[in-house]
Amino acid sequence: MIAGYLAVFYPPAMRREEQRLRARYADAFDDYVARVPRFWPRLGLPVGTTFSWACYLGNAEYQAPVGFFVGVALLWLKLYRGA
């Protein structure tokens, strides 16, 4: 059911958003589109880039894995402690 909903409504929404971004940012958006896939992310780092712990910590990107593991731990506790 979710896949059907996404197949029907997501592509038109993406097209409208791309039109708005292209109108607002023109060539900069076209450069972005050339580098970034529309839906499925690429695995790994882009060519010519390196990983930076300073950037990772400065952008607070650690919050996503911390939240994931806290959520898994809470589910595990609920499952095995009968909460």
DSSP string, 8-73: HHHHHHHHHHHHHHHHHHTHHHHHHHHHS-SSSPPSSPPTT----HHHHHHTTTTHHHHHHHHHHH
**How is residue 77 written in tokens?**
């506790």
Considering the domain architecture, whether residues 44 and 75 belong to the same structural domain is answered as no
Considering the domain architecture, whether residues 63 and 41 belong to the same structural domain is answered as no
Q: What is the total count of domains within the chain?
A: 2
Considering the domain architecture, whether residues 28 and 57 belong to the same structural domain is answered as no
Range of the domain at 77: 51-83
> pLDDT tens, 24-63?
999 999 999 888 888 787 777 777 788 889 998 999 999 9
Considering the domain architecture, whether residues 56 and 46 belong to the same structural domain is answered as no
Entry pTM: 0.48
